[in-house]
Amino acid sequence: MIFRLSYTLLITVLSPFFLFGLYKTRAGKPKIGSRWREHWGFTPALSYTSKPIWIHAVSVGETIAAIPIIHKLKAQSPQVEIVLTTTTTTGFEQAKKLGDLVTHRYMPLDFPFAIKRFLKVIKPSQLVIMETELWPNTLHYSRLAGVPISLINARLSDKSYCGYAKLKPLIRLVNDCVNQIICQYANDARNFEKLGISPQKLALSGSIKFDITISNDVRKKGKKLRVALGDDRPVWIAASTHAGEDEIVLAAHQKVLDVYKDALLILVPRHPERFTQVKMLAQKNHVTIAHSSNKILSGSTQVYLGDTMGEMLEFLEASDVCFMGGSLLGDKVGGHNLLEPAALAKPTLIGPSYFNFQDITDSLIAQDACKVVRNENELAHCLLTLFNDHSLRSKRGARGHAFVKENTGAVDIIVRHIIQ
């Protein structure tokens, strides 16, 4: 009780800063409009009376991970209603792709009054939380309402374990409120157990992200884009870059251009609000075209800015090599997922900081499907090595693709736990 009271007072103080960032208008960021009331628990009533499964996915990454689970749930139980909540508007943009399969609502802020109001309107049969989003008031009041709670695709890295180990009251709350935690890997489960979570509440599924389905439509669009980019030129993608990485990527690209004059970089910033900034940065030294401009590319185009949402797979399909961002900034970000480029049989490169995807990345490195680069020189060297050797590119891409195929099945396991 004291812990939750102290926590609620803390978020009351911090909420204006959080809301400022959440609602601040940025280029490329969807606006919430009149739906801001939902963050305060003023949730519109549902059009049906049955109790839905409530799935919470904070933002883009979690929503994308939830999509195959939702498809599987609806395929097995078409009569089941699903309410999908996201906190961010960019998460909502991904949720819209599910159409009528779900009813979208914005997640109420973790204040008691907002959570209780939401629960009273939605009346969920259960709450399924993507990954490790531990909101104390949400957990507490969902349990009081008799709503079973599952954490799925849960991760707990060694670094995160050290942080949570200092929050014993939160862990006791989780152990009391959560019915099951479906972990990605054995190391995640071990860390939860070390924190004090009851072993009988822990299960393993593998990562949802292995269950990747690349549609024929995506492949066709990617191949069409590649024709537009140029079939015979070297093309690489720097995916999900963060502030501070773009300069390194562009410097490496210049070194590649010194050898391959027609090389092309597809540069895709992680956050849409950075699109304009990154475009200006690229234009300083390179002929740059934005994807959204629909301009005709020429042989002189050196940088192609991926400044639209939801088309990463098409950009990857159009590339020869993928460098994954969020990995050259020390411990600030911890990398991003390499499974999508691996599923498309693309050889991958990543910086030394990838603790958020430690197991996956280490496995791809062990399979010789991925190489670690520490700076612009190493990035340029590895790119040139791969561009010089088509056979090497094919072998590394094939190894990554095989690794993904060998580890599919998490979605089936998770859905069995949800509908048991």
Report the alpha-carbon distance of residue 25 to residue 50 in Å, rounded.
37
Write down the pLDDT at residue 96. Answer: 87
Write down the pLDDT at residue 215. Answer: 87
Where exactly does CATH 3.40.50.2000 map onto the chain? 216-406
Residue of 62, 81, 314, 317 marked active site: 62
pLDDT tens-digit map of 251-306:
999 999 999 999 999 999 999 889 999 999 999 999 999 998 888 788 899 999 99
Question: Is 62 designated active site?
Answer: yes
Share of the chain above pLDDT 90, in %: 75
Question: In the chain, what is the straight-line distance between the N-terminal and C-terminal CA atoms, in Å?
Answer: 32
- CATH fold, domain 27-211+409-418, is Rossmann fold (3.40.50)
Evaluate if pTM is beyond 0.85: no
pLDDT tens-digit map of 396-409:
999 999 999 999 99
Spatial contact of 138 and 114, defined as CB atoms under 8 Å apart: no
- As given in the structure block, the two tokens for residue 262 are 């027609």
Phi-psi region of 220 (alpha: psi -120 to 50; beta: other; left: phi over 0): alpha
Write down the pLDDT at residue 133. Answer: 86
Report the alpha-carbon distance of residue 85 to residue 129 in Å, rounded.
10
pLDDT tens-digit map of 94-123:
888 899 999 999 999 999 999 999 999 999
Burial class of residue 230 (count of CB atoms within 10 Å of its CB; 0-12, 13-18, 19+): middle
**pLDDT beneath 70: ranges in the chain:** 27-28
Write down the pLDDT at residue 159. Answer: 85
- State in words which class domain 216-406 has: alpha beta
Where exactly does CATH 3.40.50.11720 map onto the chain? 27-211+409-418
CA 132 → CA 62, 86, 88, 182, 340, distances in Å? Answer: 10, 14, 17, 10, 22
Write down the pLDDT at residue 356. Answer: 87
